[in-house]
Structure 1
Amino acid sequence: MNPKLKQSIQVVISLGIAVWIFWLLYRDIEFNSLLEQIKSSNWLWIFISLAIAWTGYWIRGWRWSLLIQSKEGAKVSPNRAYHAVMVGYLVNMLVPRAGEVARCGVLSKTNGISIGHLLGTVLLERSIDLLFLISTIFLAFLVENQLFLSLAGELVDLESLGQKVVENLPLALGGLAVLILFLYFLFRKFRSHGLVNKLQEFFRQMFTGLKSIQTLSNPIGFWASSFVIWIIYFLTMYTVSLGIQSTANLTPGEVLLVMVMGSIGMVAPVQGGIGTFHALVAYILIQFGVSESDGKIFAAIIHGTQVILVLMVGLISWILMMRIPTWNKPIKD
Structure 2
Amino acid sequence: MKASIRKFLSLSIPLIIGLGIIYYQYNTLSDDELEKIKISFIKADYFYIYLSLFIALFGFWSRAYRWKFALQHLGYQTKFRNDLMTVCVSYLVNLTIPRSGEISRAALLKKYENVPFDKGFGTIVAERIVDMIIVLLFIAIGLILQFDKIYQFLIDKGVQFEALIGSAIIGLILFIILVLVWIYAEWNVILKLKQKLSGLIEGMQSILKMKDKWKYIFHSFFIWFSYLMMFYVTIFALPETATISFDIVVMGFIFGTLAVGFTNGGLGAFPLAIAMIYALYGIPNDVGVAFGWLVWTSQTLLTIFLGLISYLLLPILNKK
Please confirm whether the aligned pair reaches a TM-score higher than 0.5, indicating the same fold: yes
Inter-CA distance 116–206: structure 2 relative to 1 (3 Å threshold): closer
Q: Between the two proteins, what is the percent identity of the paired residues? A: 23
Partner of 1:117: 119
Secondary structure of 2:92's counterpart equals helix
**1:110 maps to amino acid:** Y
Whole-angstrom distance in 2 between the partners of 1:112 and 1:208: 17
Partner of 1:22: 22
Cα drift, residue 32 of structure 1: 3.8
Whether the aligned pair in 2 keeps the contact of 1:26 and 1:296 (CA below 8 Å) is no
Whole-angstrom distance in 2 between the partners of 1:324 and 1:76: 14
Cα drift, residue 267 of structure 1: 2.1
Match of 2:64 among 37, 55, 61: 61
Whole-angstrom distance in 1 between the partners of 2:249 and 2:278: 9
Match of 1:289 among 282, 289, 306: 282
Partner of 1:171: none
Partner of 1:172: none
Greater radius of gyration (CA): 1
Whole-angstrom distance in 2 between the partners of 1:59 and 1:133: 17
Whole-angstrom distance in 1 between the partners of 2:159 and 2:293: 34
Whole-angstrom distance in 2 between the partners of 1:158 and 1:130: 25
Whether the aligned pair in 2 keeps the contact of 1:110 and 1:326 (CA below 8 Å) is no
Whole-angstrom distance in 2 between the partners of 1:132 and 1:102: 24
Secondary structure of 1:68's counterpart equals helix
Whole-angstrom distance in 1 between the partners of 2:92 and 2:243: 33
**Structure 2 residues not aligned, in runs of 5+:** 183-189
**Structure 1 residues not aligned, in runs of 5+:** 162-175, 328-333
Partner of 1:83: 85
Cα drift, residue 278 of structure 1: 1.8
Whole-angstrom distance in 2 between the partners of 1:301 and 1:281: 11
In the superposition, the TM-score normalised over structure 1's length comes to 0.79
Inter-CA distance 14–210: structure 2 relative to 1 (3 Å threshold): closer
Whole-angstrom distance in 1 between the partners of 2:228 and 2:37: 24
Match of 1:232 among 213, 226, 234: 226
Inter-CA distance 227–320: structure 2 relative to 1 (3 Å threshold): same
Whole-angstrom distance in 1 between the partners of 2:124 and 2:313: 22
Partner of 1:71: 75
Cα drift, residue 206 of structure 1: 11
Whole-angstrom distance in 1 between the partners of 2:98 and 2:158: 34
Secondary structure of 1:27's counterpart equals helix
Aligned runs of 1:1-333 on 2, under 5 Å?
A: 1-29=1-29, 30=31, 32-69=35-72, 70-71=74-75, 75-155=77-157, 212-268=206-262, 270-325=263-318
Q: How many correspondences in the alignment? A: 294
Q: Deviations over 1:5-57 (max 9, x none)?
A: 32112211221111111111123445543331012211111111111111111
Whole-angstrom distance in 1 between the partners of 2:204 and 2:218: 14
Whole-angstrom distance in 2 between the partners of 1:47 and 1:5: 40
Inter-CA distance 68–209: structure 2 relative to 1 (3 Å threshold): closer
Whole-angstrom distance in 2 between the partners of 1:2 and 1:153: 44
Q: Deviations over 1:282-311 (max 9, x none)?
A: 100111111111111111110000001101
Whether the aligned pair in 2 keeps the contact of 1:58 and 1:79 (CA below 8 Å) is no
Inter-CA distance 292–81: structure 2 relative to 1 (3 Å threshold): same
Cα drift, residue 145 of structure 1: 2.4
Q: Deviations over 1:66-88 (max 9, x none)?
A: 1113336xx21333211101000
Q: Deviations over 1:77-107 (max 9, x none)?
A: 3332111010001111122221111111112
Whole-angstrom distance in 2 between the partners of 1:312 and 1:276: 22
Whole-angstrom distance in 2 between the partners of 1:76 and 1:143: 42
Cα drift, residue 215 of structure 1: 2.2
| RMSD of aligned Cα (Å) | 3.1
Partner of 1:164: none
Whether the aligned pair in 2 keeps the contact of 1:124 and 1:206 (CA below 8 Å) is no
Cα drift, residue 277 of structure 1: 1.5
Inter-CA distance 214–10: structure 2 relative to 1 (3 Å threshold): closer
Cα drift, residue 158 of structure 1: 8.0
Q: Deviations over 1:294-330 (max 9, x none)?
A: 1111111100000011011111111111324477xxx
